[in-house]
Amino acid sequence: MVENNLLSLIIFAPLAGAVINWLIGGRLKNEMFSGLVACGTIAVSTVVAFMIAFGHNGALHSEKPVLDHLWTWIQVGSFRADFGLGMDRLSGIYACFITFVGLLIHIFATGYMKGDKGFYRFFAYLNLFMFSMLTLILADNFLLMFVGWEGVGLCSYLLIGFYLKKDEARRAAKKAFVMNRIGDWGVLIGIFLIFSLTGTISFFDKTVDGQQVQSVFTFVLANMSADPFTWGAIFAGGLTSVGVLLFIGATGKSAQIPLLTWLPDAMAGPTPVSALIHAATMVTAGVYLVVRSNAIYQMSPTAMWIIAVIGAATAIFAATIAIAQNDIKKVLAYSTVSQLGFMFLAAGVGAFVVAIFHVMTHAFFKALLFLGSGSVIHGMHHEQDMRKMGGLRKHMPITFITMAMGWLAICGIPIWAGFFSKDEILYKTFATDKYFPAGPFPGEEVLWAVAVFTAVLTAIYMTRMMVMTFWGEERFHHQIEGEHHGDDHDAHEDTHAHVHDDHDEEHHALPPNFKPHESPWVMTMPLVILAFLSTVGGLVGVPYAMSSIFGVKDANAFEHVLEPVVAETKMPTAIAAREAAKSHAPEVVQKERMLAGLSIVMAAIGIAIGFALFLKTPLRKMPKILEEKWRLDELYNGYIVDPITNLSRNGLWKGFDVGFIDGMVNGIGHFVIEAGSLVRQIQVGFVRSYAAIILLGALAVLGYFIYYGLKLVG
């Protein structure tokens, strides 16, 4: 066990930034101060994260995790939960790319949010989010991880609804909050079940105050056997039940079917929020949870199969919607949902390392694309509709070139980062029968076909986005059917196109002589760095089949770093799968190369289709059902939300609460009032009347005693 107290600095530096910005930044109202505090604290986290990950006895090349025990949080009977942090190879990779990409996004945001009245509040929320996210990935047990899990949900709510007077933002924030809570019950029940099965909730084996604490995963590998590959295992209360419950939480946090509709609506928040939370960090928390618990999942084949199917279904479903959206951020939002589906597909077929590889490359190119879209929106006077763009490459050359790097990466063109990770997902899906820990995997051919088709769709809709934004004629002043400007009157008063406040980020009418402009260096510099990472970042994970073409036999450093994270179960099928993965048999290598070639061809075809369809007709009408997102919101509202709302309003509120509870309380009150009114009639105000009443009462009491006295005597 390696102790390093600096680990806590990674999470508490952003928390300090949030407190300072809230308490002092709110009084100073100084953008320079708030920006320096926010970026400075994240820079501290970044430096410390890289030091602990890559330094002497660093987490990324050590066999044991780096731990930091702060205090024992809860100890009741055999239940123990520490407020302790741990960085192993998995959380080390997460910590490095989250802090570094987060730092770039913070820097970008200082330019994007310039002039906003809520500048300090925005960065306080952003720092608080970083604290929660880093707590989530560095927690050394399930309960503390759940604290971070809930924290990022709360911060997501605050940041999506940052524009307080914008109805769309408020509705989106509530939707995100509710949908995440729906999923969170699964995580919570899953943690309860884990403790009841194993007696511990710790991620790591450790010694605290002389007491041995066993890891959940060590207990599972040593004392439990794999569940059968049956539907009944889901409800048996064993490892499969745990896996399914945890995955329910992951569907909410990572926007998978059926809890996916909150993520595209979350684009109502500021664009840096979209880049940080809804592309690079929070939405990948579900993938982290699944990979962190891979020892449980490897012994729960039914849960893994469900994850793979849901992942593939989400990937293609979101891709079909992305191809018909006109809002540049909505395209990227549905693209994110689709890419998250790829990650879950990889985890579901047992390629846990590949899933994390795609998480990392996706963080690079999707953060780049979101920030690039923010630069476009900034240069277009907050216009987000691509139908009113076109020809921007000559006005915004840096933004165009950098976004082109992200476009090639997500399309899967070599040597850009997305090619290596996506190609590995496709190959591992195709060859699941050889690598799946539980043996044969039903339906892997269908999943592979779905994944390939989704990859082609990805190339098409991303090419459409680039063509509509940067190529073709300029359409800045074209009238769009159903177009609505937020407030034209204010637009004329606001001569500073780049300035917006905390209650209005809507696009205003463009002046007749409007020309788009490139963003300032503080916004383009992060784009350049992310473009570089999107181009070469995938070279850390070049698979054997690719590197061996150039005579390099073992270039997959990323896989070797994460190998210890994947539990080695003792099932014969799992042992055979591990041996197959390491064998590099010539026929296997040849097959992987053929599939990679096919993947490149399909990506090129997708790009060619995108240019052919949209270069000359960028406003091509798309199928209405796709524009309306398969009417999923209407389906949810019609069959789930509205019935529950009606039941709550008419049944629970008006019927039970107002009718029964209030009716009973009010009825008692009315009865007492009426009884009092009757009794009040005898208060006539004459002494002789009161004396008569007293006499009658006395006679009644006297008569009572006489009656019962005679009965006793008789």
- Residue 480 above 80 pLDDT? no
pLDDT (tens digit, 9 = 90+) per residue, 186-220?
999 999 999 999 999 999 999 988 889 999 999 99
pLDDT of residue 508: 58
pLDDT, one tens digit per residue, over 624-640 is 999 999 998 888 888 88
Please compute the mean of the pLDDT values over residues 309-326 and round it to a whole number: 96
The answer to whether 164 touches 170, Cβ cutoff 8 Å, is: yes
Residue 204 · residue 66 · CB < 8 Å: no
Strands 206-208 and 66-76: unpaired
**Model confidence pLDDT, tens digit, residues 175-186:** 899 889 889 999
From residue 358, how far is each of 243, 280, 288, 355 by CA, in Å?
A: 22, 11, 12, 5
pTM, rounded to two decimals: 0.89
* Strand 66-76 relative to strand 2-3, pairing: parallel
Q: What is the pLDDT of residues 35-66, one digit of tens each?
A: 999 999 999 999 999 999 998 888 998 889 99
Q: Name the pLDDT band for 493 (thresholds 50, 70, 90).
A: very low
Question: How much is the pLDDT for 435?
Answer: 79
If you average pLDDT over every residue of the chain, what do you get? 90
| Mean pLDDT of all residues in 255-263 | 91
Q: How confident is the model at residue 486 (pLDDT cuts 50, 70, 90)?
A: very low
The predicted pLDDT at position 483 comes to: 64
pLDDT over 80 at 450, yes or no: yes
Tell me the C-alpha to C-alpha distance, in Å, between residue 638 and each of 252, 512, 513, 625. Answer: 20, 43, 46, 17
Banded model confidence at residue 494, pLDDT cuts 50, 70, 90? very low
Is the pLDDT at 118 greater than 50? The verdict is: yes
Distance CA(440)–CA(638), nearest Å, equals: 40
pLDDT category, 506, cuts 50, 70, 90? low
Which pLDDT value is given to residue 689?
86
Q: How confident is the model at residue 487 (pLDDT cuts 50, 70, 90)?
A: very low
Pick the range with the lowest mean pLDDT from 313-322, 355-364, 649-658. Answer: 649-658
To the nearest 10°, report the CA torsion of 437, 438, 440, 443: -90
Q: Residues 397-419: what's their mean pLDDT?
A: 95
More confident residue, 499 or 623: 623
Rg of the chain, C-alpha, whole Å: 31
- pLDDT-derived band of residue 507, with 50, 70 and 90 as boundaries? low
DSSP string covering 398-428, please?
HHHHHHHHHHHHHHT-TTSHHHHHHHHHHHH
